[in-house]
Chains A and B, each alone.
Chain A
Amino acid sequence: MRPIAIGLAALLALSVLSLFVGVAELGAGDEAWALMTISRVPRLMAVLITGAGLAICGSILQVLVRNRFVDPMTVGTGQGAALGILLVTIFLPSAPVLVKMAVASATALAASVGFLLIAQRLPPTQPYLVALVGLIYGGIIGAGVTFVAYQADLLQFIDIWTQGEFSGVLQGRYELLWLAAGVAALSYLAADQFAILGMGRTASINLGLNYGQVMLFGLIAISVVSALTVVTVGMIPFVGLIVPNLVSRIHGDNLRRTLPLIGCSGAALVLGADILGRLLRYPFEIPVGTVLGILGAVLFLWLLYRPARHAR
């Protein structure tokens, strides 16, 4: 059986489970239907889109930076989005949602470009340095966000944006995420181009690729998905790092073949973490960001110290 089929089956099983886990008792008839359409189904959709989107973004970013240890949510893209939405909330509180999203995406893009410029100046022989610089860079932007939020007395929002959590997802409050789903799906069309980009600038130009254009498209895709995720459900760490690494370890780096699997695994990981978070301290919830913070950090450490399988 193809791995993607196994993945889809597992995802389906988890999804069904997810629909039946919750504090409210599922009765019968209209009430149950309402609970499903207003809360459970939107939540499931949000989780799936977020997981798949972040995992796909992670692998695109890793190709663009040519480093396996980066993740949009930790190298500044996510923090940039938070900064943008914070500034819009302060200066243009009455702007329509789409404008707010556009600003958040733009600041996320600016932050990503900043990181890419720094990363390109670092020696490719030091992969850990790139990752470390990314983490600190993200941390600095994060400190800037906290500073502004303190001054504007908007601290409670910061918690929403930095602590990834799905308990607030209801019908009518998450639909923007479909836009992220669209962008993630669109990026699949460019999978080959991204794979070539991963071979480096010279190889790309040699194969007739418009290097700058593909790079920019990748960055925009990452920024839009990150911004939508941060604003709707908050930051979710490590998904974009762990999933592409694990998939690449087993199935290699041909993105056209692996991107669907990466998306599928990302969705499954976040969904599993979400279900776990709902069950561990029933009837309370543990935010999915916390669950993944632990799982992700442990897996990251394992990736750092695993016996080298490939040269890199």
Chain B
Amino acid sequence: MHAKRLAFLSLALGVAITGYMVLGARGSWSFILPFRGAKLAALLLVAMSISTATLLFQTIARNRILTPSIMGFDALYVMIVTLAVFFLGSRNFLAIPELVTYLTALAVMVLAALLLFGTLLLQTREDIMRMMLTGVILGALFRSLTSFATRMIDPNEYAVIQVASYARFNQIDTDLLGVSALLCLGALLAAWRIRHRLDVLALGREAAINLGLNPRRAAIEVLILVAVLVAVSTAFVGPIAFLGLLVVSLAHLVTPSGSHAILLPSAALISALTLVGGQTLLDRVLGLSTPLAVVIDFLGGILFLALLLTRMRR
């Protein structure tokens, strides 16, 4: 049953990709195909990163409502990049090779995520609501700090970052595609390799220990992967709050299973379909000017509310 559904999802994704590449093309194909191809590659990377990060995070948090975005991961990354501009000054910031800044921000991101969310996740699980609320408020705090830092920098420099803090699928920065793809594929591969361990972790702390795993160490490893994946996708397109929640919930619906060997590809396919298909539909077919991120946030927000109201009511 799952294999058939995965095949169907792949087929749908194939159609969406074709649509994205050919629809509304004006001009020579030799220009359009590589131009759109690079953006498509970035979209696919982002889609897989977000779905995988969300799935991993939900497994260690043992909660189907929490996602890295809801807990403020992407806001944290945007803040780190902004603070880098703030402290290094934009002239330096731009003079330092982009790659170095990028990797430094990534390293800081991994550390900060471990410190902040590691302690939050490893604390006693008695009050999941307070934990979620903490995440949401932390996200708000990071966003305010980002906006504060951007205001402290000259209005001129403000422009440098503003580009980096909105979800935008249309003007994807493809300069770093190579490095990001490498990082991202590495993290995705690592996630795939631990898929069986993830299945065991999902059983719960005591069951996982009984079967010989160290949940604490596993949580740290998974948090590192999540931090890298979120950083890469945020660097590409900016924060999209509810995409992860939306696609992973859909994956649980389409391929209900406790096995990450099924859930990981299923969520990745649905995520890619949502981004590529949604972008094609919104931009090339309907001709709407609203960014896809806004639509996803609206739908995902409603889903989140519905999940909270039905699942958490006792």
Contact = CB atoms under 8 A, between A and B. Distances in A.
A261 B155 CA distance: 38
B153 to A, nearest CB: 9
B137 A128 contact: no
Given A121-B309, A132-B129, A132-B133, A301 B152 contact: no
Q: Which of A237, A286, A290 has the most CB of B within 10 A?
A: A290
A81 B183 CA distance: 44
A287 B136 contact: no
A293 B312 contact: no
Contacts of B144: 290, 293-294, 297
A188 interface: no
Interface string A114-139: 00001001110010110111011101
Given A122-B313, A293-B143, A143 B298 contact: yes
A280 B152 CA distance: 8
Interface stretch (B168-176, B214-222, B289-297): B289-297
Contacts of B132: 128, 132
B163 interface: no
Given A298-B141, A304-B134, A140 B298 contact: yes
A150 interface: yes
A281 interface: yes
Contacts of B313: 121-123
Chain B interface size, as a band, is 35 or more
Nearest to A153: B289
Nearest to B155: A284
A31 to B, nearest CB: 28
A281 B137 contact: no
A147 interface: yes
A136 B301 CA distance: 6
Interface in B258-314: 288-291, 294-295, 297-298, 301-302, 304-305, 308-309, 312-314
A291 interface: yes
Contact of A150 (B137, B147, B294, B305): B294
Contacts of A153: 289
A136 B147 CA distance: 21
Contact of A133 (B127, B143, B298, B308): B308
Contacts of B308: 129, 132-133, 136
A128 B65 CA distance: 15
A307 B8 CA distance: 53
A122 B305 CA distance: 12
B148 interface: yes
A144 interface: yes
Given A133-B309, A146-B294, A290-B151, A301 B137 contact: yes
A213 interface: no
Contacts of A69: 133
A301 B141 contact: yes
Contacts of B312: 126, 129
A150 B301 contact: no
A286 B151 contact: yes
B129 A237 contact: no
A211 interface: no
A281 B151 contact: yes
A75 to B, nearest CB: 12
A157 interface: no
B294 A291 contact: no
Interface in A260-307: 280-281, 284, 286-287, 290-291, 293-294, 297-298, 300-301, 304
Contacts of A151: 288-290
A122 B314 CA distance: 9
Interface in A85-104: none
Interface string B119-149: 0000000010110111011101101110110
Contact of B148 (A133, A143, A294): A294
A132 B138 contact: no
Contacts of B155: 284
A118 B120 CA distance: 28
A274 to B, nearest CB: 14
A140 B302 contact: yes
A151 B301 CA distance: 20
B294 A293 contact: no
Given A123-B313, A147-B298, A286-B148, A293 B129 contact: no
B295 A147 contact: yes
Given A144-B298, A294-B144, A300 B290 contact: no
20 contacts: A121-B313, A122-B309, A123-B313, A128-B129, A129-B129, A129-B312, A132-B136, A132-B308, A133-B308, A136-B308, A137-B305, A139-B297, A143-B298, A147-B295, A147-B298, A281-B151, A281-B152, A291-B148, A293-B148, A304-B137
The 3 A-B pairs with the shortest beta carbon distances in the complex, nearest first, are: A293-B144, A297-B141, A128-B129
Given A122-B309, A146-B290, A293-B141, 7 more contacts: A131-B133, A143-B301, A281-B151, A293-B147, A294-B148, A297-B144, A301-B141
